[in-house]
Amino acid sequence: MAKNFTTREENYSQWYNDLVIKADLAENSAVRGCMVIKPYGYAIWEKMQQALDAMFKETGHVNAYFPIFIPKSFFSKEASHVEGFAKECAVVTHYRLKNDPNGQGVVVDPEAKLEEELIVRPTSETIIWDTYRNWIQSYRDLPILVNQWANVVRWEMRTRLFLRTAEFLWQEGHTAHATSDEALSEARQMLDVYATFAEKWMAVPVLKGVKSPNERFAGAVETFCIEALMQDGKALQAGTSHFLGQNFAKAFDVKFLSRENQLDYVWATSWGVSTRLMGALIMSHSDDHGLVLPPKLAPIQVAIVPIYKKIEQLAPISEKVDSLINALKAKGISVKYDTRDSYTPGWKFNEYEFKGVPVRVAIGPRDLENGTAEVARRDLLTKEIVPLEQLEEHIINLLEQIQTNLFERAKEYRELNTKTADTWEDFIVRLDEGGFVKAHWDGTPETEQKIKELTKATIRLIPLEPEQEEGKCILTGNPSPHRVVFARAY
């Protein structure tokens, strides 16, 4: 499996690409910038979806579905939104093909031109708020707590599997509220949901904060975000939750009659995470031996490989293993018992290691004699001999340990790579070392922009409750009330 596999040290970027391809997670398609998500990668995404969807429903949200196409004119209705989104997009101009009069395949039928072009959604605020206008009359119709699982398209020039693709899969929540406070706490709540998901399921520690105006979502009043640190010291924005104020309600004329019988514009939020999370997951835990997956998101949690030379040795192994498999499955653990005779045990070991299966069990005739099995854990690449009667409990504990260990390890890495800088020289050195750099900033978009031009680093977030500490801006020396978090980012 791991042949021609670049190490992280050699070339992190190449390592990532190799891993995504060789672990059968995704590949580039015949359509520029669009990926094929392969079954193994999609199985991880499905686990993410299930966990997130359950959390959305627990917090009172329901799913719905809105059109993939948005009339071009909708984008012009929210002034900053159009700047952020309407530019790089897929435009549908015609609705019919016809046979090429020259006999060469099919051509676009010029007579089937749309009166108004349709944009393949890059995000759905506009079409959804155009719809909400008819759903909302009074405070009784509020709140609307809707989520959509969908594909979206943003025409990216430089694409990378999962991290930046022209088409990607995501969920987008779009909620409508009677008050500003309620909308704000919704946006904050969903940030917490995302942080919990990242830390408890993905085992990826995240910082929570607010974006600076330069990095804010196009059309938002405030953008909350979670930021994770990848193994190469670069930050990755793993989810955003936006307080949209009344911007979209005003753009699409969505008003409601309040309890006090006043007509007012509706308050909005939107929030989303995407298949980009797959990139964050891969780059947080994996190593030079391949993928490392947290047990809660692993499509196969336990792989059992029988070791035998003669086929008659298989039956007694299977007999021993059957009850273990049933016991684990009854506990909701996904087990693969790999009896394929077209592959050797060594090949299988490599395969499960490379694909990040958290626990691998090997059992052969000698183990049967001794009443033991060999158990390997993927995160530490260690093995131990476990008595058969303790195997079930051992595996269950081990899965929990691996989940915890991955999170702790990633957190330790992040803490080691979170530094402060108080001078420009120090700032540059810290940035070059990689990681988060806490530094003072004078609060102006101009300074932020200048720092970005000089260093390629951006303000990843302003902490939600920043420690008050007066200081001087790293670039201008102007006063600053607290530090913000800089990093170079994906």
| Interacting residues with its own copies (CB under 8 A) | 27, 29-31, 34-39, 42-43, 45-46, 62-76, 82, 86-98, 105-106, 108, 117-120, 127, 130-131, 134, 140, 146, 150-151, 153, 155, 167, 169, 342
β-strand pairing of 436-440 with 483-487: antiparallel
Provide the minimum distance between the beta carbon of 104 and its own copies in the complex, in angstroms, as a whole number: 8
Name the minimum Å distance from CB 366 to its own copies.
30
Minimum CB separation of residue 351 from its own copies in Å reads: 13
Q: Which CB atom, from 63 or from 214, has the smaller least distance to its own copies?
A: 63
**Distance between CA atoms of residues 445 and 283, nearest Å:** 30
In the complex, least distance from residue 47 CB atom to its own copies, rounded to whole angstroms: 11
The least CB distance from residue 208 to its own copies, in Å, is 29
Tokens for 279?
A: 């990139």
Q: Which one, 116 or 425, has the nearer CB to its own copies?
A: 116
Please give the span between the terminal C-alpha atoms of the chain, in angstroms, as a whole number. Answer: 28
Q: Is the dihedral of CA 476, 482, 488, 489 positive or negative?
A: negative
d(Cα 417, Cα 411) in Å, to the nearest integer? 10
Report whether 229 contacts 251 (CB < 8 A): no
Smallest separation, CB 130 to its own copies (Å)? 5
DSSP symbols for 369-426: HHTEEEEEETTTTEEEEEEGGGHHHHHHHHHHHHHHHHHHHHHHHHHHTEEE--SHHH
Three-point CA angle 258, 264, 267, nearest 5°: 95
Rounded to whole angstroms, the Cα distance separating 302 from 317 reads 16
The three-point CA angle 206-405-45 to 5° equals: 60
Q: Which is nearer to its own copies, 165 or 480 (CB)?
A: 165
Which CB atom, from 35 or from 475, has the smaller least distance to its own copies? 35
User: Nearer to its own copies by C-beta: 347 or 481?
Assistant: 347
Q: Which two tokens stand for residue 43?
A: 């199985």
- With respect to its own copies, which residue has the nearer C-beta, 351 or 392? 351
CB of 303 to its own copies, least distance (A): 16
**1, containing H or E segment:** none
Phi then psi dihedrals of residue 216, to 5 deg: -70, 150
**Which of residues 90 and 327 has its CB atom nearest to its own copies in the complex?**
90
**Three-state SS for 332?**
coil
Q: Which residue, 93 or 423, is less far from its own copies as judged by CB?
A: 93
Q: How far is the CB of 67 from its own copies (least distance, A)?
A: 4
Closest distance to its own copies from the beta carbon of 159 (Å): 12
- Closer Cβ to its own copies, 75 or 194, answer by number: 75
| Angstrom distances, CA of residue 186 to CA of 37, 130, 302 | 32, 21, 38
Amino acid at 209: G
Residue with the two structure tokens 């989810």: 239
458 three-state secondary structure: strand
CA separation (Å) from 324 to 27, 365, 476?
36, 17, 65
- Of 88 and 389, the one with the shorter C-beta distance to its own copies is 88
Amino acid at site 271: W
What is the three-class DSSP state of 487? Answer: strand
Rounded least distance, CB 65 to its own copies, Å? 4
Q: Name the minimum Å distance from CB 46 to its own copies.
A: 6
Q: Between residues 74 and 486, which has the closer beta carbon with respect to its own copies?
A: 74
Q: Count of alpha carbons within 13 Å of 479, Cβ hemisphere only?
A: 4
CB of 108 to its own copies, least distance (A): 6
Q: What angle do CA 91, 275, 465 make, to 5 degrees?
A: 110
CB of 76 or CB of 397, closer to its own copies = 76
Asked if residue 75 lies in contact with residue 312, where contact means CB atoms within 8 angstroms, the answer is no
